[in-house]
Structures are given as C-alpha cells and as structure tokens.
Chain A
Amino acid sequence: MNLPVPDAAGPEIVTQESLLLGAAERVGRIRDGRLAVQVFLSRLRPQNRQDGHIRIALRMLEPMVNAYRGQMFLLGNSDIVFMLKDPNPVDVENMIFKLRALFSKDPLTFSDDGDGVDHFCTWFDLSGSDYDRFVDMARQVTEEARKRSRDKSAAKAPAKPLDAKSLGEVMERLASFDVTPMMSRQSAIVIRESSSTADVLFQEFYVSINDLQKALAPDVNLLANRWLFQHLSQTLDKRVLGALSASPLTTTPNCYSLNLNISTVLSKAFDQFEAYAAAKADISVEVQVLDVLADSRGYYTARQRLHDKGHMMVIDGLNELTLQFMDVAQFEADLYKVAWSPEMRESEHGDSVGASLGILGVSKVVLARCDSEAAIQWGLERGIQRFQGRYVDAMLAAYTMAGCPKASACTLQQCIARHAVVKGPLRLQCGDLGMLDGSPVMRVPKAHHKEA
C-alpha cells in the first residue's frame, strides 16, 4: 500500500500529462518502430480551440491511433500528443494534413515565420535520437500541469454561462438600471485627401459588456450564450438610447454611431432618441450580419427608415472571413466596418481582403480595431480613408492636448481614457470638457497609394 509521505506536497494527482510521462518512460525499452506526434492546438486562437474543436480533432485522430495500437493524450493546454507503433508514415501525414486543413482559418496553420519550423505539430522518432527530447517534453508538460492545477485551486470559480433563468433575472435588473456609467465612446476619423486633413466621422457609443456584467451579474458570463445575449441586447438598446438622451456631454457629436438591433431601429425608443438628437446630430446605426440574416425584411425597412431621415446604415463586425465567404456588397449599406488584423499584412491574406474591399468600394469602408500605426499604414496603402481603433484614439487625444490650455496637467494616457467615457470620475478629472467633447481637425500628410 502506498502510504502518503509525510511532508509531501499533497497526493499526486493523475493528469493526462502524468499518464503521458508514464507512457513515455515505459516505451523506453521497446522504442523500436514507435512514433509520437505533438499537435500544438494550444497555439490556436482561443475562438478556434473551444471544447467542440478539440473534441472533433480527437475524433479525427482516434481511428488512426487505434489502428496503430497507439495512445492519445489530451493535455490541459489543449495540445494533443499521440504515440503509434509501426505506423505507415503516409497515413500519419495524411491525417495531420486533414487536421491542419480543419484549422486552416487559424493563423497557426498558415502563418510562416520563415524559420522553416512547423508550428502546428512536431514529430518524435522514438526509435532514434528523438526519444530523450520526447521524455523531456513529457516531463515539462507534467510540471506545467502541476503548476496549473495549483494555480487553479487558488483562483476563484469562473462565471457560469448565461442561461434562460439567469437571463430573466438579468433583464429584470437591467430594466431599472442606469447604463451611463458603463457607456464607452470611440471616434472614427475620415481623412480628406483634398484638404489633407482628418476629422471625426462619428462617435460610437456603446456599453462595455464586461463592465455591465460586473455591475449587473458578476457571477454570470453574459456572452456565453449567443442567442440569449442577442435577446438581452434588445433591452440593452433601449437603455442605451434612454441614457444618451440624458447624456452629460457638453457638446453633442456631429454624428452618433450606435450598435442597435434592427428591431430597435423600428421601435418607438428610436423615434424618441431621434427626436432628441436629430436637430443637433446625424445618426449612424451599426447592425450585425447575423441580425440582418435573421430579419432581412426588417433590415430593408430599417435602412429605408434611416435613409428617409438622412441617417446611415452601417454593417458592423466584418472581418477577413466574412469578406471571403460572403458577397458583402449585397447589403447595400452606407458603410462597412471591417476589423483590422495583423494577418492582413501577410501578402496572400492582405491581397484577398484588399480585393474584397475594392469591390465594396474603399470609400465605404471603415477600418476598425486599428491599434497600431501598421494598421493605418495598411489601410492608407489600399486607399481606405476611414479609421477607428486605439491608435486613432491616441492620435485624437494627442491633437486635443496640443490645442488644450489645460494640457500641461495631463498625460496622453489620461486624455485617451477620458475620451472613452461619458460619465464618472475619469471624466470629472478633465480640466476642459469642451476640448474633450470637441472634434479636432487633424492635419495629415498626403496618403501614398500602393502602386497596383
């Protein structure tokens, strides 16, 4: 019987990693003809390595591992390690190829660092010199797993996913909840080539779901269920419209941009907001592709409704994938918001996105999530004139400070943070709310188009 050793750090917990290590050590004497492969699913983007993805990957490998009397281990970080006896290498290669194809939308499988290393998986020829490397790897992951389980027991339980019951409760609370403190704003700019200036195209107002969750239901993950969240967002829309009508801004923006459900645009709450804002400002409404698909008839009506009053319809949430797999131009919207991603810099991807943007018409594209100069540069090279994102925030704050009499008391970071809120202590720290709410006109150097 194994008696616990005094002073030991608790009983040894059996993990997939420790099983792997055991198996690796056991094959030490019978290494002939054995092969192991580690598939680095941990390196996939989080959205591409959810339980379902991993489950399918395991399922794909299962028949082959069984056929070659092998063993398979799913590590705590989502990596998969499998060992085979006398496999036909072509079978293994084909399977890895299939698996790679399954994850082909993730940069892991297509990005190339130019170092010739395969970042998706690594092979160990256990009969040869790779064996020691394999055991080392097993030791290392076992140690990491031990550390993770220690950390996990110290961390608090994760929020539970939103379900129908908790949604009911959250909606009841939201009905009498002031969302103004959770409201964020971010400006988008448009570069006017004729005058070599850039000014604010619109100010987008939205509720930070993270903050809302903290305030409304700290133990529930509001984004865990897409459909239930969509339902919640309809109520949220009304609260946002109400809050904006009573907003404490000193200057109303030239144009409000709001993330709304199509049903909201056709509701009384929108009429009321319009009555409040229309005299002072334009409105642009950002809708999600999935909402347009769910209620296409409503989309046409809403678009007409907006156009009748001179407002804009914007399709939000576009990215590389949507541009590749849909004919986005069919939405016939006024603007299309496309999220920038660093992969767009890779020529193949960038070119295909660039081509889609060309079809849409670059004058209708807002490049969003520009968090670096590289993003703006990429956009300018393709003739894009509309930008939004953290880098743009910084540009605007810098321009604000350059013209602000109270600027000497603040840092750029403070100015950026104050721009992003509409109420609360951060905003109150600003010495000149007029400058904060104003829309500066920036001078920009002439854009250089990429030669075709």
Chain B
Amino acid sequence: MLPPREERPSNAQQRAIAQRLVGQESLLVDYVQKLERHRKGRRAVVVRLSGLQAVNRREHHIRIALNSFELLVKQLKGQIFSLSNADIVFIFKDTAIDEVEAALVKLRFLFSDDPLLADEGFAGKATFMDWYLLERDYDALLQYALHASTEEQQRKTQELTKTLTAQQTVARNFGRGEPLTPHVLAKIEDALVRADLANMMRRQAICAIVGKAPPQPVYNELFISIADLRETILPNVNLASSPWLFQQLTEVLDKRVLSLLNKHDDRTVAGDISVNLNVQTLLAPEFLTFDDNLKASMRGTIVLELQKVDVFADLGAFLFARDFAHDRGYRICIDGVNMESLPFVDRERLGIDLVKIVWDPAMSLGVLPNGDSLESYMRRCGPSRAILCRCDAQDAIDWGQSVGVTLFQGRHVEAMLATEAAKTRGALGRRR
C-alpha cells in the first residue's frame, strides 16, 4: 500500500467513467436482444446461486460452477454470463442439451446440502434453476436480464454517490488536519477493531498496454481506500504527516484485510490479484490462514506487494518471507519505488519478481538523481518486470513504452479501460 498522497481527487466525470465499467448484466441484455430474431432452437438456463446460503456462494463456489460450463463455452456451444448477484446464465443451442444437463447434475451435487436444493424435491418445483425455451419464453428471459441490469445499475449508482460524497469531503479536508500522533494512532487502532472495512476495499487493474492496442487487465490490486478510511474513522487527521506511524497503521490494516479476504463471500478474491502486505504479516498466523483458504479455492496468481521500506528494514526477515512465499507460488512485487529510490532497488539481487515504479513527470528527462540514465536502469531491472503506477495521464504511458515497460496502473489506465468498454458496448449495439 502506498503512503497516502495529498492531491486533488479525480473529477466526478472520471470517477463516473470508472464506475460504469461494463458489467455482465448489460452484456447479457445486449446478447439477449441480439437473439431476438434467432430464438429458434435456443435455450437458456439461469442457475440461481443467489438463492444459496452465503457460505455456499463464496468465490470458489461460483468459480467451480462457472468451470462446469467452461468446455461448452470453449466449443462455442453457448454463452455464459456471471452476474454480480452470483447468478449464472447460460444460453445455448438445443444440440448441447445433454452436455448442459450433465453440467447441471454436477452443480446440483455440489450444492446438494444447501436448503435451496434440499427443499426442491418436496416443493416439486425447481427453485435452483429456471429454464427458458427462447422460442416460447423469450420475453421472460429479456425481462429477467433487464431486471438484473437495472438492479446492478442502482447498486453502482449508490456506490458512486457514496464515493462522490466521500471525495467532496476529502477535497474539503485536503492538505489540512491534525498531525498523526501516537495518541491518534492508538485511537485509530481501536476504531479499526470495530470498523467494517469491507466497503472500503477497492480494486485497480494492472494492465498490459502494448503499442496502441487497448489495455488488457493482467491482475487487480486489492487495497483499502485510505481516503475512505480517513473519512470514516479519522476525519481531520493528516496521515502523511508521520510516515513511520502510517507504516505501523498499514501493518494493523494488513491483518484486517487478510481476515476480510478470508471470510469474503463475494468475488473479491476472483482471478489474479495483488494484495499489499508487510513482511511481518507474511510470517503471521493470519497469512497462513489466508494461504490455507486459498489452496482449496484459488487457481489464479497472487502477487504480494511489499513496501520498499519494509524490505530494507530487515533484509533477513524479507529473504526468509520471500523464500517461503515463492515456495507457496506467490509472486513478489516491491511497491512504492519512486525515481529517487530507484537506484537503491536492485530487483535481480533482491530476488523480486516485479518492481512497481511510481510515475513522475520528471522521468521524461531520462536521468536519475545521481545522473545515471533511467533507461539503463530499466534495462537492468528488466522492463518486463516493471509496473509503472499512478499513471494519471497519457504521457506516463508514452514514457513507459519508450523504455520498454508494458505494465501500467493508474487513473489514466482505468479511464482507458472504461472507454474501451464503452466502445465494445457500442459495437454490440450497432450489430443489432
């Protein structure tokens, strides 16, 4: 986790774009509308995972459920949509009906001890799945899709309003506030025990951007929004005023984040992700629990982001944690490396997989503070091992590409993703 930066929050429009990243719901609506004149011989099944008990619809359950359709999707026998309420919609041609039935048998078995399925037999009706013969039930399916899409929109709008309000408050308090003292920190630590951090969890994509091609998300960083945290439990405190106390705060947050990830029953830990942790946390029982829970459910890559200060505070502890994490299949990224500290971070010697470099417009001059060439540093580091973060504008991407960097993160990248998503939707719309 990077230390808080004191700067203007992005404007409402930027946020709005980011919030409107295309959802599966709207893709579903588009697709169903597209099928309006191709109803014959098509069916849809809605698997109502949303009706399962929370313990039964965690991320890995949903992933397993999705996996059972994977082959069919690969063989182009159908289209799958995974909605944010956990429901799965599979639309396919009649010819695949046997394979679909087979997949559903597996699913039924998987969730057979959930009340939703246990009741099914007695009530004599299928509550776990809904079938649609498009020729007959097209309108009902479209209704279902539109309803899901509206609900999702509402949820996003609510989130956006919340973010905007929070940001206005942040903007008001910008650059001011009482300094972070040990007493304030003690109060924050107390408050953190009770605070619900789930709604402060944010994700930001690390994207591959090559040439003029649109950004391809590679993995998502999960982090606690420090701005939100500040607004919720410590308004008026200037977190940047004391770097060491802030570092201590991150160590406290680490454990909360891990416990959050451990019990999260939505899709927070979906796919390839990165999380910010301290070296000491990697050796703590909370991380081992996290690791345990993953073994059963995760197949994606997990990148552990360690702060540069933390790595150098105790190299021995870092090397130990590094070897352990590598043994468990994690990748390690050193975070928060800025132009000034670049010369001190020798990625290869440290045995680190990735270096996250904070973009600074001064980089375009191509010279490190010690007069060395930035380009030769990047060559030594291995441009494919570098991520340029906090890319707020196109010049960051341009510079990064000029020295061979392909991985980028930041507001500009989010905006590019959003534009791309809007384009895709537009294209789908035109095809109709």
Do A and B associate with each other?
yes
Residues of A within 8 A of B (CB): 47-48, 50-53, 55-56, 59-60, 98, 101-103, 105, 163-165, 167-168, 171, 225-228, 230-231, 234, 289-290, 292-297, 299-300, 321-322, 324-327, 330-332
Partner of A167, one of B182, B341, B370: B182
Query: Do the beta carbons of A53 and B319 come within 8 Å of each other?
Result: no
Contact between chains at B309 and A294 (CB < 8 Å): yes
Q: How far is the CA of A56 from the CA of B326 in the complex (A)?
A: 13
Q: Judging by beta carbons under 8 Å apart, are B341 and A168 in contact? A: no
The residues of B that contact A48 with a CB separation of less than 8 Å are: 316, 320
Q: Are A165 and B186 in contact (CB under 8 A)?
A: yes
Task: Name the residue of chain B whose CB is nearest to the CB of A327.
Answer: B346
Contact between B349 and A326, CB atoms less than 8 A apart? yes
Q: Which of B182, B311, B319, B369 has the most CB of A within 10 A?
A: B182
Residues B316-374 near A (CB distance < 8 A) = 316-317, 319-321, 323-324, 327, 338, 340-341, 343-344, 346, 349-351, 369-370
Q: Whole-angstrom distance from the CB of B187 to the nearest CB of chain A?
A: 8
Bound state CA distance, A101 and B323, in angstroms? 8
Q: From B279, which residue of chain A is reached at the shortest CB distance?
A: A52
Q: How far is the CA of A168 from the CA of B344 in the complex (A)?
A: 33
Give every chain A residue within 8 A of B283 (Cβ-Cβ).
Answer: 50-53, 55-56
Q: A55-B288, A59-B288, A330-B344 are in contact. Are A228 and B315 (CB under 8 A)?
A: no
Residue among A56, A101, A289, A300 facing the most chain B CB atoms (10 A cut-off):
A56
Verify B338–A296 contact, CB threshold 8 A.
Answer: yes
B242 at the interface (CB under 8 A from A): yes
What residues of A have a CB within 8 angstroms of the CB of B311 in the complex? 293
The verdict on B270 contacting chain A, using a C-beta distance below 8 Å, is no
Name the contact of A231 in the complex, choosing from B242, B319, B327 (C-beta under 8 A): B242
- Please judge, given known A-B contacts A231-B244, A293-B344, A325-B315, whether A164 and B324 are in contact too, CB under 8 Å: no
Say yes or no: is B6 at the interface (Cβ < 8 Å to chain A).
no
Question: B340 to chain A: closest CB distance in Å?
Answer: 3
Establish whether residues B369 and A293, one from each chain, have CB atoms under 8 Å apart when the complex forms: no
Chain A: minimal CB distance from B326 (Å): 10
Inter-subunit contact B315/A98 (CB<8 Å): no
- Shortest Cβ distance from residue A314 to the other chain B in the assembled complex, whole angstroms: 16
A293 CB contact (under 8 Å) in B189, B244, B251, B341: B341
In whole angstroms, what is the CA distance A233 to B210 when docked? 46
Q: Which residues of B contact A102 (CB under 8 A)?
A: 320, 323-324, 327
Q: Which of A290, A296, A299, A324 contacts B349 (CB 8 A)?
A: A324
Whether the pair A228, B344 counts as a contact (CB closer than 8 A) is no
Supply 7 further A-B pairs (C-beta < 8 A) apart from A101-B323, A326-B349. A55-B283, A171-B182, A227-B245, A290-B312, A297-B338, A300-B369, A327-B343
CB neighbours of A289 from chain B (8 A): 312
Contact in complex: B327, A230 (CB < 8 Å): no
Q: Is the CB of A47 within 8 A of B346?
A: no
Most buried by A among B316, B343, B346: B316
* B95 contacts A by Cβ under 8 Å: no
Minimum CB–CB distance for B377 against chain A, Å: 10
Q: Which residues of A contact B338 (CB under 8 A)?
A: 296-297
- Closest CB of chain B to A206's CB: distance in Å? 19
What is the bound-complex CA distance between A56 and B280, given in angstroms? 12
Q: Is the CB of B327 within 8 A of A60?
A: yes
Instruction: Name the one of A53, A290, A299 contacting B320, with C-beta atoms under 8 angstroms.
Output: A53
Give B264-290 as 1s and 0s: 1 = Cβ < 8 Å from A's Cβ atoms: 000000000000000010111100100
Q: Given A290-B312, A297-B340, A322-B315, do A55 and B285 touch, yes or no (CB 8 Å)?
A: yes
Residue of A nearest to B323 (CB): A102
Query: A116 to B245, alpha carbons, bound, how many Å?
Result: 49
Contacts of A299 in B (CB 8 A): 340
Complex: A299 Cα to B247 Cα, angstroms: 19
List chain A residues, Cβ under 8 A from B351: 325
Contact (Cβ within 8 A) A230 B244: yes
Q: Is residue B181 within 8 Å, beta carbon to beta carbon, of the partner chain?
A: yes
Are A168 and B186 interface neighbours, CB within 8 A? yes
Chain B residues whose C-beta falls within 8 Å of the C-beta of A300 in the assembled complex? 340, 369
Which residues does chain B contribute within 8 Å of A326, judged by CB atoms?
312, 344, 346, 349-350
Interchain CB contact under 8 A, A168 and B323 = no
Interface centre among A50, A321, A326 (most CB of B within 10 A): A326
A228→B311 CA distance, assembly (Å): 17
Please, which residues of chain A bring their CB within 8 A of the CB of B282?
Answer: 52
B182 touches A164 (CB 8 A): yes
A261 to chain B: closest residue by CB: B244
For B349, the closest partner residue in chain A by CB is A325
Query: In the complex, what residues of A have CB within 8 A of residue B242's CB?
Result: 231
A321 B316 Cβ-Cβ under 8 A: yes
Q: List 10 A-B contacts (CB under 8 A).
A: A52-B282, A165-B186, A227-B245, A227-B247, A228-B245, A230-B244, A231-B242, A289-B312, A327-B344, A331-B344
Q: Which residue of A lies closest to B319 (CB)?
A: A105
How long is the Cα–Cα vector from A49 to B274 in the complex, in angstroms? Answer: 28
Asked if A165 contacts B341 (CB within 8 A), the reply is: no
CB distance from A266 to the nearest CB of B (A): 14
Task: Tell me how far the C-beta of A101 lies from the nearest C-beta in chain B, rounded to whole angstroms.
Answer: 7
Give a binary string over B287-315; 1 marks a CB under 8 Å from any A CB, 0 the rest.
01000000000000000000011011111
**B10: Cβ under 8 A from any A Cβ:** no
Q: Are B309 and A231 in contact (CB under 8 A)?
A: no
B129 CB–A CB distance under 8 Å: no
Closest-CB distance, A198 to chain B (whole angstroms):
32
Does chain A have a CB within 8 A of B185? yes
Q: Which residues of A contact B185 (CB under 8 A)?
A: 164
Shortest Cβ-Cβ A-B pairs, 4 listed: A52-B283, A296-B340, A168-B182, A164-B186
Interchain nearest-CB distance for A360 vs B (Å): 14
**For residue A58, which residue of chain B has the nearest CB?**
B288
The docked-state distance in angstroms from the alpha carbon of A327 to that of B346 is 7
Partner of A164, one of B248, B312, B343: B248
What's the minimum C-beta distance from B265 to chain A, rounded to whole angstroms? Answer: 26
Report chain A residues within 8 Å CB of B344.
292-293, 296, 326-327, 330-331
- The minimal Cβ–Cβ distance linking B365 to chain A, given in whole angstroms, is 16
> A183 vs B155: C-alpha distance in the bound complex, in angstroms?
61
Cβ contacts under 8 Å, B172 to chain A: none
Which residues in A have their C-beta under 8 angstroms from that of B349?
Answer: 324-327
Residue from B280, B309, B351 whose CB has the most chain A CB atoms within 10 Å = B309
How long is the Cα–Cα vector from A340 to B282 in the complex, in angstroms? 29
Decide yes or no whether B183 CB sits under 8 A from chain A. yes
Complex interface: chain B residues within 8 A of A231 (CB): 182, 242, 244-245, 248
Bound Cα distance A358, B114 (Å): 68
The closest CB in chain B to the CB of A331 belongs to B344
Give Cα distance in the complex from A98 to B326, angstroms.
12
Query: Would A163 and B247 count as touching, CB distance under 8 A?
Result: no
Q: When the two chains form the complex, which single residue of A55, A226, A332 contacts B313, counting CB atoms closer than 8 Å? A: A226
CB nearest neighbor in A for B288:
A59
Q: A421 to nearest B CB, angstroms?
A: 29
Report yes or no: A98 in contact with B186, Cβ–Cβ below 8 A. Answer: no
A327 to B348, CA, bound (A): 11
Q: How far is the CB of A77 from chain B (nearest CB, A)?
A: 19
Bound complex: CA A98 to CA B245 (Å): 36
**Interface status of B243 (Cβ within 8 A of chain A):** yes
